[in-house]
Chains A and B, each alone.
Chain A
Amino acid sequence: AQTVTQSQPEMSVQEAETVTLSCTYDTSENNYYLFWYKQPPSRQMILVIRQEAYKQQNATENRFSVNFQKAAKSFSLKISDSQLGDTAMYFCAFMKGRNAGNNRKLIWGLGTSLAVNP
């Protein structure tokens, strides 16, 4: 069975600095997707970034980038130039690839609470 582990329950960073959130996962699949979701105090879940396992290039979305290490089963999120609005819970999630059929689901980590301090 797939598992997702986020080893940092809480983190903090000063505004404008860079922070990296860790995520490791366990799977025997070769094709899969990895995600980072953000849940701000409003509690709406927002997709931050998505990585397809077959792509070696790390995904980037503006100030958000990932370090995807497939062999190590590691998928960290780097937030550059942190802003107060980045304060949120961040969840790492895993999903099998399309070749696994339609009966796939998101497997979630327990989240990392990030506080951006002024």
Chain B
Amino acid sequence: DGGITQSPKYLFRKEGQNVTLSCEQNLNHDAMYWYRQDPGQGLRLIYYSQIVNDFQKGDIAEGYSVSREKKESFPLTVTSAQKNPTAFYLCASSIDRGSSEQYFGPGTRLTVT
């Protein structure tokens, strides 16, 4: 089955630690995205990548970093510089950056205490 996987579903970290969220897709999509979702707010774009070895900042990139070494993978690192890291994180992909349809993974709930 083609799709997007994110692991783990729930992640807990102590304040001051960096943590990496996994996102893998086998849809052969060129473009991938990371969103953050907070209660009462819509999704906000953190980073996106149009192609391997290329990525761009979204609206709320501060305190986050990404890499895109493989087409299938787009991991997101939440660094200790992110002031409010506790949130639900969604990864998505689309055929290419020009495509209007994005497909989402199941998400990771990160709790930092």
Contacts and interface: CB of A to CB of B under 8 A. Distances in A.
Nearest to A100: B98
B43 A110 contact: no
A11 B43 CA distance: 20
A110 B88 contact: no
Most interface-central of A45, A98, A103 (chain B CB within 10 A): A45
Nearest to A97: B100
Is the contact region of chain A dominated by helix, strand, or loop, or is it mixed? loop
Contacts of A47: 101-103
B104 A45 contact: yes
A46 B104 contact: yes
Is the contact region of chain B dominated by helix, strand, or loop, or is it mixed? loop
Given A98-B98, A102-B50, A110 B41 contact: yes
Q: How large is the interface on A (under 10, 10 to 19, 20 to 34, 35 or more residues)?
A: 20 to 34
A91 B42 contact: yes
Interface of B: 40-43, 45, 48, 50, 56, 58-59, 88, 90, 92, 96-98, 100-107, 109
29 contacts: A33-B100, A42-B106, A43-B88, A43-B107, A44-B104, A44-B105, A44-B107, A45-B90, A46-B104, A47-B101, A47-B103, A50-B101, A91-B42, A91-B43, A95-B100, A102-B50, A102-B96, A102-B97, A102-B98, A103-B56, A103-B97, A104-B97, A104-B98, A106-B45, A108-B42, A108-B43, A109-B42, A110-B42, A111-B42
